[in-house]
Amino acid sequence: MKTKTNIFLLSALVMVCVAMVSSCRKSATEQVAPIVPEADASQFVSITDVVPDAILEIRYYSTYNFVGTRVDGYEAPKALLTKTAADSLRAVSDELRAQGYCLKIYDSYRPQMAVDHFVRWAADLADTAMKPYFYPNVDKAVLFDEGYIAARSSHTRGSTVDLTLVNMATGREVDMGGVFDWFGPESHPDCGGDPLTGSYRPNDTITAAQFANRMLLRKAMINHGFNPLDVEWWHFTLAGEPFPDTYFSFPVK
- C-alpha of 147 from chain center: 17
Q: How many CB atoms lie within 10 A of CB 61?
A: 20
Is 30 designated active site? no
DSSP class per residue in the chain: -HHHHHHHHHHHHHHHHHHHHHHHHHHHHHHSPPPPGGG--TTEEEHHHHSTT-EE--GGGSS-SSSSSPPTTB-SS--EEEHHHHHHHHHHHHHHHTTTEEEEEEE----HHHHHHHHHHHH-TT--TTHHHH-TTS-GGGTTTTTSS-SS-GGGGT-EEEEEEEETTTTEE---SS-TT--SGGGSTTTTEETTTTEE---SSS-HHHHHHHHHHHHHHHHTTEEEETTEEEEEEETT-S-TT------B-
Q: Which of 75, 146, 232, 241 is flagged as catalytic?
A: 232
Residues classed as catalytic: 232
